[in-house]
Amino acid sequence: MTPVSYQVGKQTIIAPAVRYEYGYAYNIDSKKLLKLVTLNWPPYIDESLCNNGWLFQLTVKLLLQKGYGVHIEFFPWARAVRMAELGKADILFPEYFIDDTIMSENKKDKTRNELMALSSAIPGGNLSLVTLKGSDSNYDGSIESIKDQVIGVVRSYKNTPELDKLIESNKINTVVANTEFQQIHLLTSLRVNLIVADFDVLIASIEKSHASEKEKQQMKDALQPLSPPLDYKPLYYTVSKANPMWQEILADLNNEIRNMNEQGTLLSYIEEKKQQCSR
Protein backbone atom coordinates (compact mmCIF):
# COMPACT_ATOMS: atom_id res chain seq x y z
CA MET A 1 0.00 0.00 0.00
CA THR A 2 1.23 3.45 -0.94
CA PRO A 3 1.67 6.04 1.84
CA VAL A 4 1.40 9.73 0.98
CA SER A 5 3.90 12.17 2.47
CA TYR A 6 3.92 15.97 2.60
CA GLN A 7 5.09 18.87 4.75
CA VAL A 8 2.99 20.98 7.10
CA GLY A 9 5.34 23.69 8.27
CA LYS A 10 8.46 21.84 9.39
CA GLN A 11 6.55 18.64 10.14
CA THR A 12 6.50 15.73 7.72
CA ILE A 13 3.11 14.06 7.55
CA ILE A 14 2.99 10.45 6.37
CA ALA A 15 -0.54 9.25 5.67
CA PRO A 16 -0.84 5.46 5.53
CA ALA A 17 -3.09 3.74 3.00
CA VAL A 18 -5.54 0.91 3.59
CA ARG A 19 -7.14 -1.39 1.07
CA TYR A 20 -10.74 -0.26 0.64
CA GLU A 21 -13.15 -1.97 -1.73
CA TYR A 22 -11.05 -2.23 -4.92
CA GLY A 23 -8.82 0.75 -4.31
CA TYR A 24 -6.82 2.74 -1.80
CA ALA A 25 -8.12 4.81 1.09
CA TYR A 26 -6.71 7.47 3.41
CA ASN A 27 -8.24 9.00 6.54
CA ILE A 28 -11.01 6.44 6.19
CA ASP A 29 -12.79 7.53 9.38
CA SER A 30 -13.46 11.03 8.07
CA LYS A 31 -17.11 12.06 7.88
CA LYS A 32 -16.25 13.55 4.48
CA LEU A 33 -15.10 10.43 2.58
CA LEU A 34 -14.82 11.10 -1.16
CA LYS A 35 -14.63 8.52 -3.93
CA LEU A 36 -12.19 9.41 -6.69
CA VAL A 37 -11.84 7.59 -9.99
CA THR A 38 -8.82 7.71 -12.26
CA LEU A 39 -6.88 5.64 -14.77
CA ASN A 40 -3.43 4.15 -15.12
CA TRP A 41 -1.69 6.93 -17.05
CA PRO A 42 2.06 6.88 -16.54
CA PRO A 43 4.18 8.90 -15.91
CA TYR A 44 1.54 10.98 -14.10
CA ILE A 45 -0.35 8.29 -12.21
CA ASP A 46 -0.22 4.51 -12.32
CA GLU A 47 -0.42 1.64 -9.85
CA SER A 48 2.89 0.29 -11.17
CA LEU A 49 4.79 3.54 -10.53
CA CYS A 50 6.81 4.43 -7.47
CA ASN A 51 4.38 6.17 -5.05
CA ASN A 52 1.65 5.54 -7.66
CA GLY A 53 3.00 8.62 -9.44
CA TRP A 54 3.30 12.28 -8.44
CA LEU A 55 -0.31 13.05 -9.39
CA PHE A 56 -1.61 10.39 -6.99
CA GLN A 57 0.49 11.84 -4.18
CA LEU A 58 -0.54 15.43 -4.91
CA THR A 59 -4.23 14.56 -5.13
CA VAL A 60 -4.35 12.76 -1.79
CA LYS A 61 -2.35 15.55 -0.14
CA LEU A 62 -4.68 18.30 -1.40
CA LEU A 63 -7.75 16.57 0.04
CA LEU A 64 -6.23 15.32 3.29
CA GLN A 65 -5.15 18.86 4.15
CA LYS A 66 -8.82 19.86 3.98
CA GLY A 67 -9.89 17.03 6.28
CA TYR A 68 -11.39 14.74 3.66
CA GLY A 69 -11.15 10.98 3.54
CA VAL A 70 -9.91 9.79 0.17
CA HIS A 71 -10.88 6.59 -1.64
CA ILE A 72 -9.24 6.16 -5.07
CA GLU A 73 -9.98 3.45 -7.62
CA PHE A 74 -8.39 2.87 -11.04
CA PHE A 75 -10.52 2.09 -14.11
CA PRO A 76 -10.35 2.29 -17.89
CA TRP A 77 -10.94 5.96 -18.72
CA ALA A 78 -14.36 5.58 -20.37
CA ARG A 79 -15.66 3.74 -17.31
CA ALA A 80 -14.19 6.31 -14.92
CA VAL A 81 -15.90 9.11 -16.87
CA ARG A 82 -19.19 7.24 -16.81
CA MET A 83 -19.04 6.67 -13.05
CA ALA A 84 -18.38 10.34 -12.38
CA GLU A 85 -21.01 11.64 -14.79
CA LEU A 86 -23.62 9.31 -13.31
CA GLY A 87 -22.79 10.41 -9.77
CA LYS A 88 -21.19 7.11 -8.71
CA ALA A 89 -17.93 8.92 -7.93
CA ASP A 90 -17.27 12.35 -6.46
CA ILE A 91 -14.13 13.34 -8.36
CA LEU A 92 -12.70 12.31 -11.73
CA PHE A 93 -9.05 13.01 -12.55
CA PRO A 94 -6.90 13.89 -14.40
CA GLU A 95 -9.03 15.69 -16.97
CA TYR A 96 -8.21 18.04 -19.80
CA PHE A 97 -10.14 21.31 -20.12
CA ILE A 98 -13.77 20.72 -21.14
CA ASP A 99 -15.59 23.53 -22.89
CA ASP A 100 -19.32 24.11 -22.55
CA THR A 101 -20.21 22.57 -25.91
CA ILE A 102 -18.95 19.05 -25.09
CA MET A 103 -21.86 16.65 -24.65
CA SER A 104 -21.94 13.80 -22.17
CA GLU A 105 -21.70 10.30 -23.60
CA ASN A 106 -23.60 8.98 -20.59
CA LYS A 107 -26.55 11.33 -20.04
CA LYS A 108 -28.73 12.30 -22.94
CA ASP A 109 -29.00 16.02 -23.74
CA LYS A 110 -26.54 16.97 -21.00
CA THR A 111 -23.16 18.62 -21.45
CA ARG A 112 -20.14 17.42 -19.51
CA ASN A 113 -20.05 20.72 -17.65
CA GLU A 114 -23.69 20.43 -16.59
CA LEU A 115 -22.73 17.23 -14.78
CA MET A 116 -19.19 18.02 -13.65
CA ALA A 117 -17.30 21.10 -12.45
CA LEU A 118 -13.67 21.75 -13.41
CA SER A 119 -11.11 22.73 -10.79
CA SER A 120 -8.24 25.16 -11.18
CA ALA A 121 -5.43 23.86 -13.37
CA ILE A 122 -2.36 21.92 -12.29
CA PRO A 123 0.69 21.19 -14.48
CA GLY A 124 0.23 18.82 -17.41
CA GLY A 125 2.05 18.21 -20.70
CA ASN A 126 2.04 18.72 -24.44
CA LEU A 127 -0.55 16.99 -26.62
CA SER A 128 1.09 16.09 -29.91
CA LEU A 129 0.59 14.32 -33.17
CA VAL A 130 2.94 11.34 -33.24
CA THR A 131 4.03 9.41 -36.29
CA LEU A 132 6.67 6.87 -37.29
CA LYS A 133 10.13 8.26 -37.93
CA GLY A 134 10.68 8.74 -41.62
CA SER A 135 7.00 9.17 -42.41
CA ASP A 136 5.85 12.12 -44.51
CA SER A 137 2.93 13.57 -42.58
CA ASN A 138 2.57 16.94 -44.37
CA TYR A 139 1.80 18.45 -40.96
CA ASP A 140 2.35 22.21 -40.98
CA GLY A 141 0.98 23.01 -37.54
CA SER A 142 -2.67 23.07 -38.62
CA ILE A 143 -5.32 20.36 -38.34
CA GLU A 144 -6.33 21.21 -41.90
CA SER A 145 -3.00 19.86 -43.15
CA ILE A 146 -3.67 16.32 -41.86
CA LYS A 147 -7.44 16.05 -42.46
CA ASP A 148 -6.93 13.41 -45.17
CA GLN A 149 -4.93 11.09 -42.88
CA VAL A 150 -6.14 8.35 -40.54
CA ILE A 151 -5.61 9.29 -36.91
CA GLY A 152 -5.59 7.09 -33.80
CA VAL A 153 -7.31 8.49 -30.71
CA VAL A 154 -8.14 7.07 -27.28
CA ARG A 155 -11.75 6.32 -26.38
CA SER A 156 -13.49 9.11 -24.43
CA TYR A 157 -10.39 11.33 -24.35
CA LYS A 158 -10.86 14.99 -25.18
CA ASN A 159 -8.15 16.36 -27.47
CA THR A 160 -8.42 19.92 -28.81
CA PRO A 161 -11.75 21.63 -29.53
CA GLU A 162 -10.92 21.90 -33.24
CA LEU A 163 -9.91 18.25 -33.61
CA ASP A 164 -12.81 16.96 -31.51
CA LYS A 165 -15.34 18.88 -33.61
CA LEU A 166 -13.92 17.32 -36.79
CA ILE A 167 -14.06 13.86 -35.19
CA GLU A 168 -17.65 14.31 -33.98
CA SER A 169 -18.77 15.53 -37.41
CA ASN A 170 -16.98 12.64 -39.16
CA LYS A 171 -14.84 15.08 -41.12
CA ILE A 172 -11.65 13.28 -40.15
CA ASN A 173 -11.01 9.55 -40.24
CA THR A 174 -10.17 8.08 -36.82
CA VAL A 175 -9.51 4.68 -35.29
CA VAL A 176 -10.33 4.41 -31.58
CA ALA A 177 -8.02 2.67 -29.09
CA ASN A 178 -8.62 1.97 -25.42
CA THR A 179 -5.12 2.97 -24.27
CA GLU A 180 -1.99 4.76 -25.45
CA PHE A 181 -0.21 1.42 -25.77
CA GLN A 182 -2.90 0.24 -28.17
CA GLN A 183 -2.38 3.48 -30.11
CA ILE A 184 1.27 2.57 -30.58
CA HIS A 185 0.29 -0.78 -32.09
CA LEU A 186 -2.16 0.96 -34.42
CA LEU A 187 0.69 3.14 -35.62
CA THR A 188 3.38 0.47 -35.94
CA SER A 189 0.97 -1.88 -37.76
CA LEU A 190 0.25 0.99 -40.22
CA ARG A 191 -3.48 1.02 -39.43
CA VAL A 192 -3.19 4.76 -38.79
CA ASN A 193 -0.86 7.49 -40.05
CA LEU A 194 -0.80 9.51 -36.84
CA ILE A 195 -1.82 9.20 -33.21
CA VAL A 196 -2.81 11.96 -30.78
CA ALA A 197 -1.05 11.64 -27.44
CA ASP A 198 1.12 13.08 -24.71
CA PHE A 199 4.51 11.75 -25.87
CA ASP A 200 5.69 11.24 -22.28
CA VAL A 201 2.69 8.96 -21.70
CA LEU A 202 3.55 6.92 -24.79
CA ILE A 203 7.12 6.38 -23.61
CA ALA A 204 6.01 5.52 -20.07
CA SER A 205 3.41 3.09 -21.44
CA ILE A 206 6.12 1.31 -23.41
CA GLU A 207 8.32 1.09 -20.32
CA LYS A 208 5.42 -0.35 -18.31
CA SER A 209 4.60 -3.01 -20.92
CA HIS A 210 5.62 -6.67 -20.83
CA ALA A 211 7.57 -6.33 -24.07
CA SER A 212 11.22 -7.36 -24.08
CA GLU A 213 13.85 -4.67 -23.60
CA LYS A 214 14.75 -4.98 -27.28
CA GLU A 215 11.10 -4.53 -28.34
CA LYS A 216 10.69 -1.56 -26.01
CA GLN A 217 13.70 0.16 -27.50
CA GLN A 218 12.47 -0.53 -31.03
CA MET A 219 9.10 1.03 -30.24
CA LYS A 220 10.64 4.10 -28.63
CA ASP A 221 13.06 4.54 -31.53
CA ALA A 222 10.18 4.31 -34.03
CA LEU A 223 8.07 7.17 -32.60
CA GLN A 224 8.37 10.80 -33.60
CA PRO A 225 6.30 13.66 -32.08
CA LEU A 226 5.56 16.33 -34.67
CA SER A 227 6.27 19.99 -34.06
CA PRO A 228 4.58 22.19 -33.05
CA PRO A 229 2.47 20.32 -30.47
CA LEU A 230 -1.28 20.58 -30.87
CA ASP A 231 -1.53 22.24 -27.47
CA TYR A 232 -0.13 22.39 -23.96
CA LYS A 233 -2.70 20.64 -21.80
CA PRO A 234 -2.92 21.51 -18.10
CA LEU A 235 -4.63 18.92 -15.93
CA TYR A 236 -7.80 19.38 -13.88
CA TYR A 237 -9.98 17.67 -11.33
CA THR A 238 -13.68 17.43 -12.14
CA VAL A 239 -16.16 17.30 -9.28
CA SER A 240 -19.51 15.57 -9.74
CA LYS A 241 -22.44 17.92 -9.28
CA ALA A 242 -24.45 14.93 -8.07
CA ASN A 243 -22.70 15.38 -4.73
CA PRO A 244 -24.75 17.95 -2.77
CA MET A 245 -21.48 19.36 -1.38
CA TRP A 246 -19.81 19.72 -4.79
CA GLN A 247 -19.31 23.48 -4.50
CA GLU A 248 -17.54 23.12 -1.15
CA ILE A 249 -15.36 20.29 -2.48
CA LEU A 250 -14.45 22.33 -5.55
CA ALA A 251 -13.66 25.42 -3.46
CA ASP A 252 -11.44 23.37 -1.12
CA LEU A 253 -9.49 21.90 -4.03
CA ASN A 254 -9.08 25.30 -5.66
CA ASN A 255 -7.98 26.91 -2.41
CA GLU A 256 -5.27 24.30 -1.88
CA ILE A 257 -4.05 24.61 -5.48
CA ARG A 258 -4.00 28.41 -5.17
CA ASN A 259 -2.16 28.27 -1.84
CA MET A 260 0.53 26.00 -3.26
CA ASN A 261 0.93 28.26 -6.29
CA GLU A 262 1.18 31.38 -4.13
CA GLN A 263 3.71 29.73 -1.81
CA GLY A 264 5.70 28.43 -4.78
CA THR A 265 5.40 24.86 -3.54
CA LEU A 266 3.29 23.20 -6.26
CA LEU A 267 6.07 22.66 -8.78
CA SER A 268 8.61 21.85 -6.07
CA TYR A 269 6.29 19.21 -4.57
CA ILE A 270 5.83 17.59 -7.98
CA GLU A 271 9.59 17.65 -8.62
CA GLU A 272 10.27 16.20 -5.17
CA LYS A 273 7.96 13.26 -5.89
CA LYS A 274 9.60 12.69 -9.27
CA GLN A 275 13.07 12.76 -7.70
CA GLN A 276 12.08 10.29 -4.99
CA CYS A 277 11.33 7.79 -7.72
CA SER A 278 14.44 8.39 -9.81
CA ARG A 279 16.92 7.45 -7.08
Average confidence score pLDDT of the chain: 94
CATH 3.40.190.10 corresponds to the domain 125-231: yes
Q: What is the pLDDT of residues 164-179, one digit of tens each?
A: 999 989 999 999 999 9
Residue pair 133/223 in contact (Cβ under 8 Å)? The answer is yes
pLDDT band, residue 14 (cuts 50/70/90) = very high
CA distance 142 to 122: 26
Domain 4-124+235-276 - what CATH class?
Answer: alpha beta
CA distance 140 to 126: 17
Indicate whether 251 pLDDT > 70: yes
Buried b (16+ CB within 10 A) or exposed e, 65-80: beebbbbbbbbebbeb
pLDDT band, residue 216 (cuts 50/70/90) = very high
> 4-124+235-276 and 125-231 share one CATH topology?
yes
Indicate whether 92 pLDDT > 70: yes
Residue pair 73/23 in contact (Cβ under 8 Å)? The answer is yes
Per-residue pLDDT, 5: 87
Indicate whether 278 pLDDT > 80: no
Indicate whether 279 pLDDT > 70: no
Q: Find the mean pLDDT for residues 243-265.
A: 97
CA distance 95 to 36: 12
Residue pair 223/212 in contact (Cβ under 8 Å)? The answer is no
Per-residue pLDDT, 11: 86
**Where do the structural domains in the chain lie, given as residue ranges?**
4-124+235-276, 125-231
pLDDT band, residue 277 (cuts 50/70/90) = confident
Q: What is the pTM of this model?
A: 0.93
